Amino acid sequence: MEIKSTTPLSGLFRTSPFKPLQEHMRVVFACSCLLPSLFDALYRKDQDQIGSIADEIIKFETKADDIKHEFRRSMPNTLLLPVDREDLLKLISDQDQLADRAEEIAKILCYRDMTVPKELKAVLDELLEGTMEILGSAKSMVEQLDELLQLGFRGREQKKVEEMIAGVRRKEHNIDGIMHRTRRTLFEIEGSLDPVSVMFWYSLIDQLGSISDQAENVADRLLLFLSK
């Protein structure tokens, strides 16, 4: 998948300081959206496809890093906004962690030939589905920032974003329950797996779970914007 060049961040800053954040989030989301295809290739034991998808994830993660670094370099020291410069820098770092987690998962599956235990597949699918849902919610929240700015972070859009934030927190709580069941399932079949595979499976599960944690961090950062 080709990553096309986008508008220079200097131009985006002239329009809105949130435009680069939104562009960054779209790249992060595109990166993370490859995870279901990556796991589908894993289920099929298609190592060539795993490698190809992993390469695409790494390209998107690199693009997200480039936007993050340019954002930090280009951001004016003074912004006449109801949002602190430091909070904007922290938000893009929170977003970037989502792509970092996807890249870590891709690297594990690319470098190690993994076999999915049949007992684990159903709950893994549930975890992936919940992860993609919360990522979509996080992206939707960031897309609302311009509307919030126009309304001075008040009014109808504020309530809409607050409801989105509450929804992300509910989703994260639900994923915590799925994570518990996933780890429990793995624990129950540990004896049938080699110890190194067990170690890598726990790592993969933790990396997937940390994506929802990071999505909640994005939500909490936006809530901080609304409270100032």
Q: 10-residue block means of pLDDT along the chain (228 residues)?
A: 46 65 96 96 96 97 96 73 79 95 95 92 95 94 76 63 85 94 96 94 95 92 74
Per the domain annotation, does 4 fall within a domain? no
Instruction: Write down the pLDDT at residue 129.
Output: 95
Residue 74: domain span: 9-227
Per the domain annotation, does 38 fall within a domain? yes
Q: Please count the other Cβ atoms lying within 10 Å of the Cβ belonging to residue 14.
A: 10
* Cβ atoms 111, 47 nearer than 8 A: no
Per the domain annotation, does 1 fall within a domain? no
Virtual torsion, Cα 69, 70, 74, 79, nearest 10 deg: -70
CA–CA dist 62, 23 (Å, integer): 14
Total domains, the chain? 1
Instruction: Write down the pLDDT at residue 223.
Output: 79
What CATH code is carried by the domain that includes residue 18? Answer: 1.20.58.220
* CA 48 to mean position of chain CA atoms: 25
Instruction: Write down the pLDDT at residue 84.
Output: 77
Per the domain annotation, does 24 fall within a domain? yes
Per the domain annotation, does 3 fall within a domain? no
Of 52, 54, 50, 53, give the one whose Cα is nearest residue 113. 50
Per the domain annotation, does 106 fall within a domain? yes
CA–CA dist 200, 117 (Å, integer): 13
> Whole-prediction pTM value?
0.86
Per the domain annotation, does 160 fall within a domain? yes
Per the domain annotation, does 195 fall within a domain? yes
